[in-house]
Amino acid sequence: MVRLRFFVTDWSPDKYDDFIAGIDRVVDELGIPQPLPPVSAIGVDYLFEPDVLVEVEAFAVLD
């Protein structure tokens, strides 16, 4: 995994530290490399499914 992009509803920059702390809690479970690859958090008004609060794009390089 070389990049992570998160689309987040109700986003504000003051939530970034808590957001990254949440990612850190699940890195082993999800197989996210450490140190984290470049991460973007992009605020959106809503996502396709009304109950979904976060959408993730993960970019990986395969050999």
* 16-58 tens-digit pLDDT: 899 989 989 998 898 888 888 999 999 999 999 989 999 999 9
Please give the residue range of the domain that contains residue 49: 3-59
* Residues in CB range of 28: below 8 A, 6 or more apart: none
- How many separate domains does the chain show? 1
The torsion angles phi and psi of 9, rounded to 5 degrees, stand at: -80, 155
Whole-number pLDDT of residue 7:
96
Whole-number pLDDT of residue 1:
84
Whole-number pLDDT of residue 55:
94
With vertex at residue 22, the alpha carbon angle to CA 17 and CA 26, rounded to the nearest 5 degrees, is 145
Contact by Cβ (8 Å): 1, 34: no
pLDDT higher than threshold 90 for residue 63 = no
